[in-house]
Structure 1
Amino acid sequence: MNIMVAQSGGPTPAINATVVGILELAKRNDSIDHVYGALNGIEGVINQQFIDINQRIHNDIELDMLFYTPASALGACRYQLPENMNDSPIYQQLIDTLRAKGVTIFVYIGGNDSMDTVKKLAQYCELKGIEDIQFIGAPKTIDNDLVGTDHCPGFGSAAKYIATTFAELEKDCFVYNRPSVTIVEIMGRNTGWLTASAALSRLNGGKGPDFIYLCEVPFDQEQFIHDVKSKLQRGKPVLIAVSEGLKNVQGEYLSVIKGNALDAFGHQFISGTGKYLENLVRHSIGGKVRSIELNLMQRCAGHLSSKTDLNESKLLGAKALQAALDGETGKMVGIHRLSDQPYAIEFVVADIALIANQEKKVPLDWISTERNDVSASMIDYMKPLIEGETKLNYRNGIPEYISLY
């Protein structure tokens, strides 16, 4: 029996830990001969670009390095399978390619769009009566917007990076005892989970951001200016966290790149919300104002990975493979939270048709009534996910990571 694993969508600090969980369970299962990796997600299957992962990972030291390596070691893609299965030959081409490699289990690690791919492949097999290949999804996304799981691998580490960044930015901003405004733009197209994590910078007594604006609620520019003015009256710096996906009351993104602005899944490319608000404050209030876009750093900061996040990601990889070995297909493995304090979870398997193309947003009652901060419930939810520090191996003064191809 051979299995194949692939990664898709945006990178995270924990996505390779899921691969490690698959490899460790496969190693203990005598019925599994090869663990293949498809390079650059489903495109790797289409283009027949594979590696035998066991031939690239030679010992436990290298396996441990893979566990701590951020971003997608197998490469990723943003590729959408056609909706009409009967009119497209690509589905049967994918099945034929997997069969040619002797693959009976395909595990796809990714977010919403990746789960859509798993759903379609499983549906095609059901439609055609194909029973010799099973398709399983393993969740991944720093956006934390997948339904069917309490939280997503990658989110905890990205949240830890953001919380740490805000704790340090606060120190920087308050060096000078004069008013200023610093606006930090954080990833999140339609959900504000990551932006909310800026509040975690207050856990050790720090002030953290003065305001947090999430994209779950319409953004009121007049109220925003009023908020900022009220804080500036104290004569101190103001630190603000904003979601990149903030929309006005008409439902329009505050900043949208015009022109060819759709990706393969029809998503608009959005950028520059922080810069937009910087200019708004400068023109409406004046004074010293700057914007910072965390951009890619928040999703590949392996040096600030959460131990909880990486450990859960590895266990989810093993759970995904075990689910397939138990006969499951068209499913996604996920996490069900049992309690916050003490933090306790269990792993679950859910029908991917109920997960793909859905979006889990921050509950409105976890956002302050003023719509410019988050509640204690939000903190209770996020706090366990950033706990624990990883022990990276450093060489020549920087972390040592591994490449698979």
Structure 2
Amino acid sequence: MPTKKPLIGAAIVGQSGGPSSVINASAYGVIKTALEDENITKVYGAEHGIVGVLEDRLMIMDEEDPAELERLLYTPSSALGSCRYKIADPSDNDKDYKRILEIFEKYNVRYFFYIGGNDSMDTCAKISRYMAKVGYECRVIGVPKTIDNDLIGTDHCPGFASAAKYIATSVMEVARDCRVYNKGMITIIECMGRHAGWLTAATVLPAAKGDGPDLIYLPEVDFDMADFLDDVIRVYEGQGQCLVAVSEGIHYSDGAFVSEAKTSSTDGFGHAQLGGLAHRLAGIVSAATGAKVRGIELSLLQRCAAHCASATDIEEAFQCGKVAVESALRGETGKMVGMVCKRDGGYSVSYELFDLRRVANAEKKIPLEWITSDNAYVTDAFIDYCTPLLEGQTALGYEDGLPRFARLKKVFAK
């Protein structure tokens, strides 16, 4: 059971991995809650995540204008700076951990909050275990973030809903654009998702309104090029148009990615860099059909469209940060905040803690029963799951006709 005794000391919050439209809302949840608690003596933001800790680049959140901090709710990307840095297992190499401990002792850091996805939760778990091993009391809590929605435990992840809303909206708009001509056209839209197809599945949401894709392909099932071409040709010949949504990570039965952009290039965690799939498929379809074909890659637009953010997503992201601090103050450590949701009789959410050892380096994929038997669409079960998460509009303010994002002073500790 968590200890009840107060733990007096400073807090660090960091952001890691790919940004999202609401990762700063989670940071604000942590920062605001920590600043308001008398047991937390100072609140620092780590520049570029754990790299900022290692390099002693800590921003003093106490020095920021409260009004600017509040704008983090509606500011996209990672305001504190992100990284893709994988720390080794301490049993193999403890150099980074000794440095982290040195920084924690220098600033009397007793609370560490890390906002990110699978690999970030792995970082949290390793730091938590190391601090316990060396006897330094520091409460470590992970805050979920990933537009890929692939963290296990939590019903969904902050960032996913806003990205899904942008994708669904964009598909509605593209559907109107690609169907205006008297000559037929085939359009292929590529969405993010290396191993999990949650974002691509969100293209189904406008289908009931007549503006969704005709075909959807996800990485949860093997891709067959011959079946794909048969599907596209059947739809195109039947209605004179065809709109297709594909996940960047679709793969053949041998595990090879369909994207020709799979190279030896990887990110800091060893993941293959993907992209270019839509244009590759467009070329193949054009050669097979002779039709006009367009490939569209939504790319980074999916994760930074704050103007299209879900109010539900913003609120839940903030609450995850807030609950993280409240849990740490109660004595919890080595946990990740997650959401438990009910959808029968209306949508509701509660917040629970999940052991980081369970969460780290595991992936949650779309249930296979939510994918149609022909592997080319998703069922109503996904629609029922996803629709409530998109509710509500952002309260983002504007200045001179453009979004007004947070402008932090970034005063660094010495």
Look up the match of 1:77: 83
**Structure 1 runs of 4+ with >4 Å offset:** none
Which residue matches 1:25?
33
Could you list the per-position Cα deviations for residues 180-205 of structure 1 after superposition, in whole angstroms to 9, with x for gaps in the alignment? Answer: 100000000000000000111224x2
Match of 2:47 among 39, 48, 59: 39
Identity %: 44
Written as runs of structure 1 = structure 2, the 5 A alignment for 1:277-296 is 277-296=281-300
What residue ranges of structure 1 are gaps of 5+ in the alignment? none
Q: Does 1:107 align with 2:113?
A: yes
Residue 260 of structure 1, CA deviation? 3.8
Deviations for 1:294-348, whole angstroms, at most 9, x for unmatched residues? Answer: 0000000000000000000000101011111111111101001123540011100
Q: Match for residue 62 of structure 1?
A: 68
1:262 Cα offset (Å): 2.2
Alignment partners' CA distance in 2, 1:7 and 1:207: 36
SS in 1 for 2:300: helix
- TM-score (normalizing by structure 2): 0.94
Match of 2:319 among 289, 304, 315: 315
In the alignment, the residues of structure 1 paired with residue 157 and residue 262 of structure 2 have an alpha-carbon distance, to the nearest angstrom, of 31
Do 1:2 and 1:102's aligned partners in 2 also have CA atoms closer than 8 Å?
A: yes
Equivalent of residue 126 in structure 2, options 120, 140, 145: 120
- Is 2:179 the counterpart of 1:180? no
User: What is the number of residues matched between the two proteins?
Assistant: 401
Q: How does 1:6-405 map to 2 (within 5 A)?
A: 6-56=14-64, 58-59=65-66, 61-85=67-91, 87-130=93-136, 132-203=137-208, 205-257=209-261, 260-404=264-408, 405=410
CA gap 1:27/1:263 in 2 versus in 1, 3 angstroms: closer
Structure 1 Cα separation of the partners of residues 232 and 387 of structure 2: 27
Measured after TM superposition, the shift of residue 99 of structure 1 is: 1.6
Contiguous gaps of at least 5 residues in structure 2: 1-8
Deviation, 1:214, is 0.6
Q: 1:390 to 1:367 in 2, by over 3 A?
A: same
Residues 260 and 218 from structure 1, CA distance in 2 versus in 1: closer, same or farther, beyond 3 angstroms?
closer
The answer (yes or no) to whether the contact 2:197–2:365 under 8 Å persists in 1 is: yes
Residue 86 of structure 1, CA deviation:
5.6
d(CA) in 1 for partners of 2:343, 2:234: 38
Contact persistence 2:90–2:97 (CA under 8 A): no
Determine the C-alpha separation between the residues in 1 that align with 2:119 and 2:38. 33
SS at 2:337 equivalent: strand
Instruction: Determine helix, strand or coil for the equivalent of 2:202.
Output: helix
CA contact under 8 A between 2:69 and 2:406: conserved in structure 1? no
TM-fit CA distance, 1:270: 1.3
Change (3 A) 1:202 1:68: same
Contact 2:171 2:211 in 1 (8 A): no
Q: Give the SS at the match of 2:238.
A: coil
Structure 1 counterpart of 2:106, one-letter code: A
Q: 1:129 to 1:102 in 2, by over 3 A?
A: closer
CA distance, structure 2, for counterparts of residue 300 and residue 181 of structure 1: 27
1:256–1:269 Cα contact (<8 Å) kept: no
Q: What's the CA shift for 1:126?
A: 2.6
Q: Which amino acid aligns with 1:97?
A: I
Distance in 2, matches of 1:89 and 1:105, equals 21
